[in-house]
Amino acid sequence: MLQVVAIREQFESYVEGLNKRGIQNASDILNELLKIDDQRKSTQQSLEEILSESNQSAKIIGQLLKEGKKEEAESAKAKTSELKQQSKALGESLSALEEELKSKLYNVPNIPHSSVPAGKNAEDNEVVKLEDSSIPQLNEGAKPHWDLIEEYDIIDFGLGNKITGAGFPVYKKEGARMVRAMINYFLDQALEAGYQEVQPPILINEDSGYGTGQLPDKEGQMYQAMDTNMYLIPTAEVPITNLYRDVIIEENQLPVKNVGYTPCFRREAGSWGSHVRGLNRLHQFDKVEIVQVTTPDKSYETLEQMVGHVEKLVASLGLPYRILRLCGGDMGFTSALTYDFEVYSAAQQKWLEVSSVSNFETYQANRLKLRIKDKNGKKVLAHTLNGSALAIPRILAAILENNQTESEIHIPQVLHRYTGFESIKK
RNA sequence: AGAGGCGUGGCAGAGUGGUCGAAUGCGGCGGUCUUGAAAACCGUUGUACCGCGAGGUACCGGGGGUUCGAAUCCCUCCGCCUCUGCCA
């Protein structure tokens, strides 16, 4: 969440930033926050005065009792009781104000970076790179992946339907081995790029949900484990970034670079139709995620480096891709700048999002209380970043469609040593 | 899952109702000594919020309560340890 101090100091640019997201009454919203904060301060001041007074008199009472002056002590007690009534009332209004401030702050999204284009939706995203020379010319009878997986019998939606429900596919034979191969390939590539591998829990508690911003605004997107306050993770970002909740990192330990593979679970409420057919949108899917924690002055450099890593992965698979800089209206709630990667899936003739790389600046760190201590002992909020590297099902869909022939599907060369086969045959 | 025990500053470890934000040791930082280092000695060393400042307030796992006053008493939740049970 945003810091009130920062809102105060950079009011105008924050208003502009929120406008880019399509929030028109931004200055009203921010002014309201400042007003509540002012009330909070003055309430806190009066409360602390009273507490100070009653602390003093408690000490005096102790002294009096020690000296055996019982009656004086009793009358002092009576007075102090009055103070207590006052402080109780003030304490209650203080915490009410704090609650109000916090819940309002939770509902204000991050301020977009200056390079973020204004815009309403996906149509206003800016294409920063287009690599489409590898778009294949498919034969007449080329099939979308949902037909191919049946033909080659490598993914079974019907079975998934039976044991769980729609959106939970069962990968079989070469399909299952492809998934495993890609996970290993992506992890190995990240290790080579200097990331440390972690395997986090895939069930998280509420604190973690708030820490990275899934709660309270995206509660409906997550599956909740019945009779518990735990949620299935929608992305490894949540547990991996929350590793650093309530942590102070020494500056010389930076950057923190973690990579993790996890399944991801998304309810995706309200999405039906042909555009979500097959592997395009699932309730459970596999993803390798990279997460970095770094200093404010280096985070945009880090973002470029992460984008470079993802680009290398996509390119190595021989898939046509493009990189988008998301506009204010399409960007995630907590992000300051997001690049999306899309690969072209030639049979359905669609660009599919396979990665999203974001800099959250201090937005998550403020919720997480994740700080950096520099050489002089000064503490500042860290910057957090993450990116998919990569999400597996749509990559698989594009490979299946783009590499199909009449009788087989070719597997990208970099995966051969992981799959143990070079093509999928009927 | 049941029974019992425990949860104090970076770590170890005192403190069981009244100047306790908290003894002591280790570690860290600064200094004296030394050619340099070690040892020794001296000093210093938590976080957050409010305030221009002096200063104030809160925090001894989390939340609530009793009391003029709580690290200390009570309730509750969480976590850890031990024993029993179960189990990949």
- In CATH, what number is assigned to the domain containing residue A62? 1.10.287.40
Task: Judge if A166 and A222 occupy the same domain.
Answer: yes
A113 falls within a domain: no
The predicted-structure confidence for A28-43, as pLDDT tens digits, reads as follows 999 999 999 999 999 9
* Strand nucleotide closest to residue A50 (CA to C1'): B57
Q: Is the CB of A58 under 7 A from strand B?
A: yes
Lowest mean pLDDT among A40-49, A268-277, A359-368: A268-277
- pLDDT band at residue A161 under the 50/70/90 scheme: very high
Task: Kindly determine whether the C-beta of residue A3 is less than 7 Å away from any atom of nucleic acid strand B.
Answer: no
A65 confidence band (pLDDT: 50, 70, 90): confident
Closest CA to A1 of A155, A216, A246, A182: A216
pLDDT of residue A85: 85
Answer yes or no: is A170 CB < 7 A from strand B: no
Residues A311, A395 within the same domain: yes
Asked, for residue A13, whether it belongs to a domain, the answer is yes
Q: Summarize the confidence of residues A381-405 as an average pLDDT.
A: 95
- For strand B, is any atom closer than 7 Å to the CB of A54? yes
- End of a domain among A55, A71, A106? A106
How far lies A244's CA from each of A77, A257, A287, in Å?
46, 12, 21
pLDDT at A317 over 90: yes
SS (H, E, C) A144-198: CHHHHHHHHCCEEHHHHHHHCCCCCCEECHHHHHHHHHHHHHHHHHHHHCCCEEC
Nucleotide nearest A63, CA–C1', reads B18
What's A201's domain CATH number? 3.30.930.10
Average pLDDT of span A42-52: 92
**Strand B nucleotides in reach of protein CB atoms, 7 A cut-off:** 18-19, 47-51, 56-58, 67-69
- Rounded to the nearest 10 degrees, the angle between the axes of helix A392-402 and helix A173-192 is 120
Nucleotide with the nearest C1' to A83 CA: B68
Q: What is the mean pLDDT of residues A216-233?
A: 84
Cβ atoms A108, A1 nearer than 8 A: yes
- Go through A326-344 and write b for each residue having 16 or more CB atoms within 10 A of its CB, e for each that does not: bbbbbbeebbbbbbbbbbb
In whole angstroms, give the CA distance from residue A416 to residue A373.
45
A253 and A129 both lie in a single domain: yes
Query: Residue A200's domain spans which residues?
Result: 122-425
Is A341 inside a domain boundary?
yes
Tens-digit pLDDT profile for residues A176-209: 999 999 999 999 999 999 999 999 999 998 889 9
> Could you give the number of structural domains in chain A?
2
In a domain, A115, yes or no: no
The pLDDT of residue A221: 87
Poorest-pLDDT segment among A29-33, A158-162, A223-227, A354-358: A223-227
pLDDT band at A218 (very low <50, low <70, confident <90, very high): confident
A117 in any annotated domain: no
Nearest nt to A55, CA vs C1'?
A: B69
Of the pLDDT bands very low, low, confident and very high (cuts 50, 70, 90), residue A379 is confident
- Residue A62 pLDDT greater than 60, yes or no: yes
Per-residue pLDDT at A230 exceeds 60: yes
- Does A363 map to a domain? yes
Q: Using one digit for the tens of pLDDT, what is the confidence trace for A110-130?
A: 999 999 999 999 999 999 999
What per-residue confidence (pLDDT) applies to A272? 60
Q: Read off the pLDDT band of A84 (50, 70, 90).
A: confident
Q: Is residue A71 part of a domain?
A: yes
Which chain A residues in 370-389 sit with Cβ < 7 A of strand B?
A: 371, 377, 379
Indicate if CB(A62) is under 7 A from strand B. yes
Average pLDDT of chain A is 92
Residues A59 and A141 placed together within one structural domain of the fold: no
pLDDT at A76: 85
Alpha carbon A84 to chain centroid, angstroms: 44
Instruction: Point out the domain boundary residue: A53, A72, A106.
Output: A106
Nearest nucleotide to A42 by CA–C1' distance? B50
User: Does one domain contain both A254 and A163?
Assistant: yes
- What is the interface pTM, i.e. ipTM, of the complex? 0.84
Nucleotide nearest to A79 (CA to C1'): B68
Comparing CA positions, the residue from A318, A316, A310, A309 lying closest to residue A341 is A310
Does some domain include residue A116?
no
For the segment 75-104 of chain A, residues whose CB is within 7 A of strand B = 77, 80-81, 84
Query: Would you say the C-beta of A417 is within 7 Å of strand B?
Result: no
Q: Is the CB of A69 less than 7 A from some atom of nucleic acid strand B?
A: no
Residue A283 Cβ under 7 A from any strand B atom: no
Question: Residue A207 has what pLDDT?
Answer: 87
Give the integer Cα–Cα distance in Å for A265 and A316: 27
- Point out the domain boundary residue: A51, A76, A106: A106
